[in-house]
Copies of this chain bind each other. A is one copy, B any other.
Amino acid sequence: MEEQTRFRLSKQRKVILEELRKVTTHPTADEVYDMVRKIMPRISLGTVYRNLEFLCSQGLARKVGPAGAQKRFDGNATPHAHIRCRVCHRVADVPVHLEAPMLAPEDCMGFEIEECNIEFEGICPDCQRKTC
């Protein structure tokens, strides 16, 4: 009854993961493409996208920042925490004030920090019902 998919370790997939692991720069897909192309000049951007997606689905890599392509807007301009649904990408306000963690100056990597965004991720009531 279970549909067990078999994964293969193509050269492309191997190199993409290796290159991604070499850096801590959190590259975009086209930056990964550039990195990998130095080793495999004929790789396609589509393959890079497919494999990054695959690696994330396997827990071998992560997307930085929230899922969902579209930007969302908040008429409440005072900073506050959000909860985002993993499934439908809906965003709700956290109804309590959370103290933003402070970073010691030596942990700021030279950044001039202006604010801290706290975003919980989970599954909203509606989507919990649908997923059974």
Contacts and interface: CB of A to CB of B under 8 A. Distances in A.
Copies of this chain per assembly = 2
A119 interface: yes
A27 to B, nearest CB: 6
Interface stretch (A4-12, A39-47, A58-66): A58-66
B63 A73 contact: yes
Contacts of A104: 96
Secondary structure call for the A interface: mixed
A86 B11 CA distance: 36
Interface of A: 17, 20-30, 32, 52, 55-56, 59-66, 70-77, 79, 81-86, 90-96, 98-99, 101, 103-104, 107-125, 128
